[in-house]
Amino acid sequence: MRAQCESHNFAPAKLRLIPKGDTFRPIMTFNRKLPHNRNLTTNRKLGSAHLMLKNLKSKMHSSGFGFAVFNYDDIMRRYEQFVERWKQAAQPELYFVTMDIEKCYDSVDSRKLCEFLRRTDLLDREYYVLGCITLKRRNNVLTEKETLTKEPIRNHFRHKFHKLCVEGGQYPTLTEVVGEENDFNFKRSLLVEYETRKKLFKRDVLAPLDYIIQNNYITFNKKQFRQTKGIP
């Protein structure tokens, strides 16, 4: 396992077991340092693939294709809209049905998944990555007029760096990008695009993702394993 990870510059995943009723849920983390780059983790190495798939998620969401909700923010937005309609309808009696796919990730064929990602037209051949910084006012900072002194602007704002991804056939402005559906809260923020957009090609982005899906090495209880079923 060590030789395989070092030759491809990947760090093994770490497995944790979370109790779930009378069984458990396996959770993998990829935050270990890479063998040949101690400042980089597997998570960060897969960052470009993550950006590309988030772009696909946004496109599917806006087109109404593929799913109704994707994460907790999506769920809460739909839930709040439902509650408003329910109140307007005089709060009728409700019935709930839940459904779960047993061993969902275990049943995914990793080879077919990688083949689908390479061939699908849902992913563009190239992408641009945008780097932007957001500044938000610190509401808890109070200034007395009588003792007003000149201070660095950073003392009154908190900042955060973001990476965004757009399809290669487009070159929209930052305002157009953040105006679309996304996972970030950019309300009442100052945004600055701070670097030249980087061009990525689909084949290069998918290469590390393809490898980790089919060659996922894991450490658990001081022992090493290779995942042979499902996806991480």
Can you give the residue ranges of every domain in the chain?
A: 126-200
Q: Which residues of the chain have pLDDT under 70?
A: 61-71, 139-151, 153, 180-185
Convert the pLDDT of each residue in 59-85 to its tens digit: 776 665 555 566 677 778 888 889 999
pTM above 0.75, yes or no: no
Q: Which phi and psi (to 5°) does residue 19 adopt? A: -55, 140
pLDDT at 140: 57
187: three-class secondary structure by DSSP: coil
Q: How far is CA 207 from CA 4, 47, 126, 172, 173, in A?
A: 16, 12, 14, 27, 29
